[in-house]
Structure formats: structure tokens, C-alpha cells
């Protein structure tokens, strides 16, 4: 089973590494790892041109109407939302390196777009209100629950610092599972159901380029643990072509 990785290149033959703009359809996967800050950066660079971004088909993404070999940014954002809804409806599991929700203005056709607008919200949870800004200085403290991502949290707590946290009541209202607290006791890693799937939010890595192989291995083990505890669901046809899994454009 392949994993789509967006914004944080991770070395594994079963990982497909892309940017938010260049990735193939999210709905063709059942596993997703995404660095939320890279979503904000890519969309902002397209909305206020600072770098060229292309779709998986090679079209330039532009902040304007579609044209020959040009894909409209507003259409890309709507497409990603549809894909994510299909992804979770099929039981997909997403892991997000979490940051507070952020608004991007100046996108043609949209009054405002926020960096979590592509991601369906868990019932009873708002990314805009539920993810509060914070700047962790110390390593998070795993809470010790039995969860497939528990080993990752424990292994990389020292290499991560939270940039967003949530209130316990908000996590509980969404039927979530708390995975780690900050040194000050707030919830900084947690898992919540979304449609027929799940989303796990974890603190960002301090140095994403460091220990990439170990990080990739830990994620793969966590996903395999989820597979062992999740009922079998319909899957898309397996992609047999060996991917170029470290792409220079990412993150």
C-alpha cells in the first residue's frame, strides 16, 4: 500500500513525495502524511507569485482563470477538498504536522481561504477555533495510550516542538484520543475520526531533514499497525510504477 507524502520528503520505496500543488489525487491513496505549513507556503506563493508550481499533469498553477496549460488556483483548492472528502469516506488515514489555521487572501474567486479548508473537519471540532497557537520549548510528554502512532510520538518527542495545541474538551467533543501533552500539560498530539477515516495531528519536527529514514520507518510501522486494527475496506488499484520518491520540488 502506497503513502502520499506532501511537504516533507521521506525516503521509502512505498512513499510518493510531492508538494500540495504537484501531488496526484489524494483520493487514490489510503495513507497521507502532510506538513501543514507547506500547504500555506505553496498556496501563498501561487497567490502572490514567488515561485512557480505545477500540477501533477505539468500545468502551471496560476492565480487567475484557467487557460491552455494553466490551472486556476481556486480550482486546485476545490479539487483538493473533493479529493480529501473521498479519501476519508473510503477510510483513509491522514497524519498532519499541525500548525494554527491561517488565512490567505488575494485568491481570485475566493474572499478568503484558510490552510485547513481542504481538510474535512471531524464532527464537533473546528480547525480554526480548536487549534490554538503556541510555541513549545520542551519535548512533548506521551500519555502512554495504546495507539499505532504511540511509538512514533515516544521516539520523536525530543525532535519535535508544538506550534499548535488544543483544549482537552475540544478533543473529547470530537471523539478523539489524546496522544501527548506539552510540558505545560496542554494537548499537542491527538487522533480524531473523520467520516470513515481518521486524522492524527502531531507536533512538527525541529529539523525535518534530520533522521528522515528513521522518521519514515516509524510512520510506516504506525500505518501497518493501523491496518492490523482496521476492518478491510475497498482500495484503489495498486500503483505498480516505481516512483521518484525524493523529488527536488518538495517541500
Q: What pLDDT was estimated at residue 229? A: 54
Cβ neighbours for 167, distance < 8 A, ≥ 6 positions apart: 130, 132, 186, 187
Distance CA 121, CA 144 (A): 26
pLDDT beneath 50, residues of the chain: 230-251
Distance CA 86, CA 108 (A): 25
Return left, alpha or beta for 106; rule: phi > 0 is left, psi -120 to 50 is alpha, else beta: left
Domain boundaries, the chain: 3-43+73-229
Q: What pLDDT was estimated at residue 14? A: 96
Q: What pLDDT was estimated at residue 227? A: 72
Q: What are phi and psi of 61, to 5 degrees?
A: -90, 125
Q: What pLDDT was estimated at residue 237? A: 35
pLDDT in tens, 61-73: 999 999 888 999 9
Query: For the domain with range 3-43+73-229, which CATH number is right: 3.10.360, 3.40.50, 3.40.462, 3.40.1350?
Result: 3.40.50
pLDDT in tens, 118-137: 999 999 999 999 999 999 99
Distance CA 78, CA 64 (A): 14
Strand pairing partners for 157?
A: none
Q: Which three cell numbers stand for residue 106?
A: 488575494
Q: What pLDDT was estimated at residue 226? A: 80
Amino acid at each position: 500500500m502506497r503513502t502520499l507524502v506532501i511537504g516533507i520528503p521521506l525516503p521509502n520505496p512505498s512513499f510518493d513525495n510531492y508538494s500540495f500543488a504537484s501531488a496526484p489525487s489524494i483520493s487514490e491513496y489510503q495513507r497521507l502524511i502532510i506538513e501543514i505549513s507547506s500547504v500555506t507556503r505553496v498556496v501563498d506563493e501561487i497567490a502572490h507569485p514567488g515561485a512557480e508550481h505545477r500540477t501533477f499533469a505539468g500545468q502551471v498553477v496560476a492565480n487567475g482563470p484557467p487557460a491552455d496549460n494553466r490551472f486556476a488556483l481556486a480550482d486546485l483548492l476545490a479539487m483538493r477538498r473533493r479529493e480529501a472528502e473521498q479519501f476519508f469516506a473510503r477510510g483513509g488515514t491522514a497524519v498532519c504536522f499541525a500548525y494554527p489555521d491561517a488565512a490567505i487572501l488575494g485568491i481570485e474567486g475566493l474572499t478568503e481561504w484558510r490552510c485547513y479548508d481542504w481538510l474535512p473537519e471531524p464532527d464537533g471540532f473546528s480547525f480554526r477555533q480548536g487549534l490554538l497557537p503556541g510555541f513549545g520549548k520542551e519535548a512533548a510528554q506521551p500519555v502512554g495510550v495504546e495507539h499505532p502512532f504511540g511509538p512514533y510520538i515516544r521516539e520523536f518527542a525530543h525532535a519535535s516542538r508544538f506550534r499548535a495545541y488544543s483544549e482537552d474538551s475540544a478533543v473529547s467533543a470530537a471523539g478523539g484520543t489524546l496522544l501527548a501533552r506539552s510540558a505545560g500539560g496542554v494537548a499537542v498530539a491527538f487522533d480524531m475520526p473523520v467520516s470513515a477515516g481518521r486524522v492524527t495531528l502531531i507536533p512538527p519536527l525541529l529539523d525535518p531533514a534530520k533522521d528522515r529514514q528513521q522518521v519514515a520507518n516509524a510512520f510506516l510501522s504506525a500505518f501497518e499497525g493501523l491496518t492490523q486494527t482496521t476492518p478491510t475496506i475497498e482500495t484503489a488499484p495498486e500503483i505498480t510504477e516505481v516512483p521518484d520518491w525524493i523529488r527536488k520540488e518538495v517541500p
